[in-house]
A and B are shown apart, each in its own frame.
Chain A
Amino acid sequence: MPVWNIIQAVNDALRIEMRRDPRVVVLGEDVGKFGGVFRATNGLFDEFGPDRVFDTPLAEAGIIGAAIGMALYGLKPVPEIQFADFIYPAFDQIVNELAKFRYRSGGQYPAPVVIRTPYGGGIRGGHYHSQSPEAYFVHTPGLKVVIPSNPYDAKGLLLSAIRGEDPVIFMEPKRIYRAAKGEVPEGDYTVPLGQAKIVREGSQVTVLCYGAMVHTVVEAVEKVAAEGFDPEIVDLRTLLPLDSETVLASVRKTGRAVIAYEAPKTCGYGAELSALICEKALMHLEAPIARVAGFDTPFPYSLENEYMPSPDRVAKAIRDTASF
């Protein structure tokens, strides 16, 4: 089995699906000849040509709006927004149009568009190449939100997303685009949306995380495990629909929860997880829930490693929670 990184896995998923389903098209800024600024669409233009892979003008609202129209016509567009930070010009098309088309037309006009976008910090990108805007989209009924943390999941989840009938915001953790490597089956397989994965079984405290943060958590857990702690790590993989069963079962087992995410803390996805646990598993809790998150400041350039939850910060939260 080849060992690939996330970019190769995403690229392979797109290629497999474009070969399998002639309705799939890719559009976005620099996704054609250049193969994407992160090379996620590398080679697709050469293989599928200018009728399936489109370099668009610089206009995110145009990219998403046109993708919606393509989906209404029966194509399966997979637009790329170059950085999640640049998704806001398309916010209206996503929130008011894409998410509501099926509903507002009484089910007549579904628009299954899968928007791929690299998100997150740690590449020294400053304010505008580092943000984690997942909470806006989870908060929008009608959108599914998927964030893989490794190449195997990236490929399987992306194939599921494209084959599904709903709009999906597929956020790719660009900090670990190349760093996260793993075995990826060469052929076709899917990872279903809405299923979390237990990365490490443990008995003492549940650590909930997704995307690039999974790797930070794993690093932190290695530290504290050496000190005798026994945390369980849950990689959510899909934020909506959430695999609440797995989350709650783990928290009921351990009685403790740490939630790690790099978006700003307030009203981030961790707030939702925390609320869910309080509603459904409060009596199992033996310690307050801890959130380790980005700060409520714009994402900084020089001090980005201080901004993002570090293994140290996650480790401290695990220790504090486990010893409460």
Chain B
Amino acid sequence: MDDHGVADPDRVPSLTPEDWLRIYRGMVLIRVMDERLMALQRQGRIGFYGEARGQEAAVVGSAAALAPQDWIVPALREAGAGLYRGLPLRTYIAQIFGNANDPASGRQLPCHPGTRASHYVTMSSCIASQLPHAVGMAWAAKIKKDNSVVLGYLGDGATSEEDFHVALNFAGVFRPPVVFVCQNNQWAISVPVAHQTASPTVAIKALAYGFPGIRVDGNDALAVYGAVKEAVDRARSGGGPTLIEALTYRVSAHSSSDDPSRYRDERITETWRARDPIVRMRAWLAFQGFLDAAGDERLRADLDAEVRDAVAAEESVPAPPLRTLVEDVFAEVPQFLADQLAEIATLPRQKLGGAHQ
């Protein structure tokens, strides 16, 4: 697909119009959610937020290539992939508020969702530490012969970490059904990808591990879907791992705590805003006759209402109960932790955590 949404019909992966519309819906949901939640963050109603703006095609196009039994091991910006595959929106918003409805009892920073039911693993803030986990899960799937594939996400900055190296090396040696999707959004907070590695691409790094590396336009949902689908099919049939580099751009800041104008030329950002994956996808859908302007308006309005409803419902939910402080450290609460809890049980309650810097 070019920047205007024109694609060679012979190269478009075969999916039904409903499938493509579902992908588009997933992309728009991310955008609507990002806009709404960033506004909440600026109003001081949530502590932290990390947008995926401009990366919606990479997030949803890749997740759409998975089968229901497959797993996602995410990095920071793939909540949209979880939502696409059945992570309930309310659950995600509850996580962002860190309230009593959050399955993880408000233990982590916003944007760290995860439920076993949605096959979306709870992430760590530490970069790349998830990649060996993705390999291990896929290796287990291979041992158990259960026909699942694991999709491990990472950013371009993560390629510098030790965990990237050990994960991809193990993947090469043991050939588990794992697909690595690197969202190369060209910025790791303030460090551009050219200072992250001297290699010409991320994809070429696969050579060091003995499996294929593919570079794809990360703002083209059709291309991302096609590349990831091929890799997932290969992984499922025993053909081993693939590294996919989805080239995109972090058009917004790293997170609500960041200010990119301090370190980069925002004129370049503007050129990438012009390659907006949602605009391109909408144009393609319109060319195909799958979606008209009214339908698009309706979709946006529906999603906006859905997000507003979820926020309204979750914002008033109280903080997790105090006992959750000592639960889940171990399978059962040991006596010494129960004692520690008792020490504060009689004291007045503290306010919820302060503002994130």
Contacts and interface: CB of A to CB of B under 8 A. Distances in A.
- State yes or no: do A and B touch (Cβ within 8 Å): yes
B271 interface: no
B351 interface: yes
A85 B353 contact: no
Contacts of A34: 189-190, 262-263
A297 B125 CA distance: 18
Interface stretch (B17-25, B139-147, B205-213, B340-348): B340-348
Contacts of A165: none
Contacts of A122: 353-354
A32 interface: yes
Contacts of A126: 107-109, 112, 125
B61 interface: no
Nearest to B327: A297
B160 A57 contact: yes
Contact of A306 (B258, B263, B350): B350
Looking at A35, A129, A178, A304, the one whose CB has the most chain B CB atoms below 10 A away is A304
A55 B195 contact: yes
A313 B350 CA distance: 11
Contact of B337 (A57, A61, A296): A296
Contacts of B161: 58-59, 89
A301 B353 contact: yes
A38 B189 CA distance: 13
Interface in A102-136: 122-129
B157 A57 contact: yes
B115 interface: no
Interface residues on A, range: 35 or more
A166 B328 CA distance: 40
A127 B108 CA distance: 6
Nearest to B123: A128
Nearest to B260: A34
A124 B344 contact: no
> By DSSP majority rule, is chain B's interface helix, strand, loop, or mixed?
loop
A300 B158 contact: no
Interface string B186-197: 001111000111
Contacts of B325: 295, 297, 300, 303, 306-307
A30 B189 CA distance: 7
Contacts of B350: 303, 305-306, 310
Given A57-B157, A123-B354, A310-B350, A302 B109 contact: no
A123 B125 CA distance: 15
Contacts of B326: 295, 297
Interface stretch (B80-88, B98-106, B276-284, B287-295): B98-106
A306 B105 contact: no
A243 interface: no
B47 interface: yes
Interface in B156-189: 157-158, 160-163, 188-189
Contact of A125 (B189, B258, B343, B356): B356
Interface residues on B, range: 35 or more
A207 B190 CA distance: 42
Contacts of A33: 190, 262-263
Interface in A57-113: 57-59, 61-62, 85-86, 88-89
B270 to A, nearest CB: 20
Nearest to B156: A58
A306 B347 CA distance: 10
A297 B351 contact: no
B207 to A, nearest CB: 19
Contacts of A304: 353
B136 interface: no
A306 B105 CA distance: 14
B195 A298 contact: no
B160 A306 contact: no
A127 B356 contact: no
Contacts of A316: 347
A306 B161 CA distance: 34
A295 B263 CA distance: 39
A265 interface: yes
Interface stretch (B215-223, B296-304, B316-324): B316-324
A85 B125 contact: yes
A260 B85 CA distance: 46
Looking at B127, B191, B324, B326, the one whose CB has the most chain A CB atoms below 10 A away is B191
Given A30-B189, A58-B158, A124 B47 contact: yes
A86 B356 contact: no
Given A33-B190, A34-B263, A303-B325, A123 B157 contact: no
Contacts of A35: 262
A304 B98 CA distance: 11
A219 interface: no
A252 interface: no
A303 B160 contact: no
Interface string A232-247: 0000000000000000
B15 interface: no
B126 interface: yes
Contact of A37 (B189, B344, B351): B189
B196 A58 contact: yes
A195 B187 CA distance: 43
A200 to B, nearest CB: 23
B189 A295 contact: no
Given A57-B197, A305-B353, 10 more contacts: A30-B191, A35-B262, A58-B188, A129-B109, A295-B340, A297-B325, A300-B107, A302-B107, A303-B322, A305-B354
Interface of B: 47-48, 98-99, 102, 105-109, 112, 124-128, 157-158, 160-163, 188-191, 195-197, 257-258, 262-263, 319-320, 322, 324-326, 329, 336-337, 340-341, 343-344, 347-357
5 pairs of A and B residues whose beta carbons are closest in the complex:
A302-B106, A128-B125, A305-B350, A34-B190, A57-B160
